[in-house]
């Protein structure tokens, strides 16, 4: 693959995830292990005209890149009226779809656990009796305009003959299942069954879904680090990973030019004990690596986890931008928070709220803010190269919206097949119920890909 070397970011942030307590790292690691979890300044907004109040506006604007502004300022913003008609238009007659609030919504969800066959039991909150289903009765209301509902027929028509790849970890799988469920209103795909390559973690590296009526293919790639990573020591429960920050994971990167759209995501696996490699040599480690094996890695310089996130996304985006055969769109989906309260996963923590936070009710978590900043930096660093070679890089920024949804997680109401709400297990306050607030990701994806058509 023709790869261009990537320059390190000239800026570094004072806040370091690596200096967060070892307890934070171990908690995140254990949650990822047991549940296959995927865990500020704006860079690119999703814009649309604000004059329309209908769900199918007659005019729309193409998502565009704008100068950086701080989206974390929303913590101090006041809550607007829940009425969409009261939302003021911005001076430029456009609005940022990623800034807003959740408002009551009486419309039925796009699907249920009875109409969609793709919901994993781990996120099937309706099946396992989540006490309150109010989490499905809220809709995202951007400041200054309305977000149209997802038009499955229009989406599939626009995707005729095209292909889309989702690359990342278990939250990536959570996302693709949301999209498949929404599209099931119109058509259901056939999963292309082949001899699957299995990752060292026991997961299929690739799954493909084909919509024969539209010639549309959707692929899911398991690549939690986005870059090449080898499990060098599995004797300890969390393992020790050799992460090659300057080498994209070839299991997905070798297929870049086979896709029209690529959605990249992933952050939580970076908490796993890791040694960081560049140019064939070890250049650092995260805090967890020193606690594995016989402690020989303790002499290696510690590197902020956010630095590894930034480097990995820069490498992955650089591989896309440098691929001459790729002329499509690549999107980075930003980090989403966990919502454990009154303890962590192993100390009685849970997510039992039954309504969203209001804007300003909860400050942004420092780790979430730094990881999002790392993703934004990586996208900014590779934007110029992508423009030269014909690719288009975008930010699917869902962090602010999802920070406000502590009510949308399975908690204890999502289980492996045959499970129940009784017994001892780890509650899930990181993945999202299906249907649920995660369906917003597909609605925003719809706007980013189709609003200019």
Three-state DSSP string of 280-308: CEEEEECHHHHHCCCCHHHHCCECCHHHH
One DSSP character per residue, 166-206 reads EEESHHHHHHHHHHHHHHTTT---EEE---PPBPTTS-BSE
Residue 132 is encoded by which pair of tokens? 């309150």
Output the pLDDT for position 453: 57
Residue 1, pLDDT above cutoff 70: no
Q: What percentage of the chain reaches a pLDDT higher than 70?
A: 73
Mean pLDDT score, 131-160: 95
Cα–Cα distance measured from residue 300 to residue 23, given in angstroms and rounded to the nearest whole number: 20
Output the pLDDT for position 68: 36
Residue 386, pLDDT above cutoff 50: yes
How do residues 401-415 score in pLDDT, each as one tens digit? 999 999 999 998 887
Output the pLDDT for position 234: 64
Residues in the chain: 453
Residue 348 is encoded by which pair of tokens? 């009685």
Residue 8, pLDDT above cutoff 80: no
Q: 151, 246, 407, 428: which is the annotated catalytic residue?
A: 428
Q: 223, 431, 439, 451: which is the annotated catalytic residue?
A: 431
**Angle, nearest 10°, between helix axes 305-322 and 366-389?**
20
Across all residues in the chain, what is the average pLDDT?
Answer: 80
Q: 74, 94, 170, 442: which is the annotated catalytic residue?
A: 170
Contact between 353 and 407 (Cβ < 8 Å): yes
Query: Where does residue 218 rank: exposed (0-12), middle (13-18), buried (19+ CB within 10 A)?
Result: buried
Cα–Cα distance measured from residue 367 to residue 378, given in angstroms and rounded to the nearest whole number: 17
Output the pLDDT for position 297: 62
pLDDT band, very low/low/confident/very high, at 427 (cuts 50, 70, 90):
confident
Output the pLDDT for position 195: 75
What are the C-alpha distances in Å from 426 to residues 27, 354, 422, 434? 12, 20, 12, 19
Output the pLDDT for position 75: 35
Residue of 382, 72, 345, 388 lying closest to 226 (CA atoms): 382
83 is catalytic: no
Lowest mean pLDDT among 14-18, 256-260, 312-316: 14-18
157 is catalytic: no
pTM of structure: 0.81
Q: Are strands 329-333 and 261-264 parallel, antiparallel or unpaired?
A: parallel
Buried b (16+ CB within 10 A) or exposed e, 85-120: eebeeeeeebbbbbbbbbbeeeeebbbebeebebbb
Q: On the CB side of 316, how many CA atoms lie within 13 Å of its CA?
A: 31
Output the pLDDT for position 288: 75
Cα 126 to the center of its chain, rounded Å: 23
Output the pLDDT for position 390: 84
Output the pLDDT for position 55: 37
Residue 183, pLDDT above cutoff 50: yes
Output the pLDDT for position 434: 97
Residue 452, pLDDT above cutoff 60: no
428 is catalytic: yes
Output the pLDDT for position 46: 52
Contact between 2 and 324 (Cβ < 8 Å): yes
Residue 287 is encoded by which pair of tokens? 């805090």
**Residue bearing the bigger pLDDT, 390 or 335:** 335
Would you tell me how many other CB atoms lie within 10 Å of the CB of residue 123?
27
Mean pLDDT score, 156-164: 97
């Amino acid at each position: 693959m023709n790869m261009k070397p990537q320059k390190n970011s000239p800026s570094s942030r004072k806040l370091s995830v690596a200096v967060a307590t070892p307890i934070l790292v171990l908690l995140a690691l254990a949650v990822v292990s047991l549940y296959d979890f995927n865990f500020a300044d704006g860079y690119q907004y999703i814009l649309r005209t604000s004059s329309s109040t209908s769900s199918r506006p007659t005019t729309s604007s193409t998502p565009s890149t704008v100068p950086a502004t701080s989206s974390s300022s929303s913590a101090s913003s006041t809550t607007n009226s829940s009425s969409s008609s009261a939302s003021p238009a911005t001076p430029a007659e456009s609005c940022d779809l990623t800034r807003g609030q959740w408002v009551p919504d009486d419309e039925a969800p796009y699907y249920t656990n009875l109409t969609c066959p793709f919901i994993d039991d781990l996120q099937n909150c309706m099946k396992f009796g989540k006490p309150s289903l109010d989490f499905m009765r809220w809709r995202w209301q951007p400041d200054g305009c309305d977000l149209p509902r997802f038009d499955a027929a229009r989406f599939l028509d626009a995707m005729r003959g095209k292909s889309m790849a989702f690359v990342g970890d278990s939250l990536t799988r959570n996302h693709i299942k949301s999209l498949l469920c929404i599209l099931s209103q119109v058509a259901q795909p056939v999963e292309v069954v082949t001899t699957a390559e299995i990752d060292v973690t026991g997961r299929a590296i690739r799954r493909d879904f084909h919509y024969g009526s539209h010639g549309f293919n959707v692929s899911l790639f398991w690549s939690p680090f986005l870059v090449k990573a080898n499990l060098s020591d599995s004797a300890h429960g969390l393992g020790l990973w050799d992460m090659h920050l300057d080498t994209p994971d070839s299991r997905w990167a070798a297929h870049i030019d086979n896709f029209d759209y690529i959605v990249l995501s992933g952050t939580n696996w970076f908490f796993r004990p890791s040694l960081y490699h560049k140019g064939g040599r070890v250049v650092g480690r995260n805090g967890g690596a020193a606690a594995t094996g016989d402690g020989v890695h303790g002499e290696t310089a510690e590197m902020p986890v956010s630095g590894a996130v930034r480097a990995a996304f820069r490498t992955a985006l650089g591989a896309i931008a440098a691929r001459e055969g790729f002329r499509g769109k690549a999107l980075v989906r930003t980090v989403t928070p966990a919502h454990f309260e009154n303890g962590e996963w192993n100390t009685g923590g849970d997510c039992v709220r039954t309504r969203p936070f209001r804007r300003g009710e909860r400050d942004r978590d420092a780790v979430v803010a730094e990881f999002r900043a790392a993703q934004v930096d990586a996208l900014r660093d590779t934007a110029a190269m992508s423009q030269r070679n014909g690719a288009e890089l975008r930010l699917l920024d869902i962090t602010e919206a999802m920070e406000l949804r502590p009510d949308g997680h399975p908690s204890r109401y999502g289980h492996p097949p045959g499970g129940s709400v009784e017994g001892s297990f780890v509650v899930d306050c990181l993945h999202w119920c299906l249907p649920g607030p995660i369906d917003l990701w597909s609605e925003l994806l719809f706007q980013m890909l189709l609003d200019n058509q």
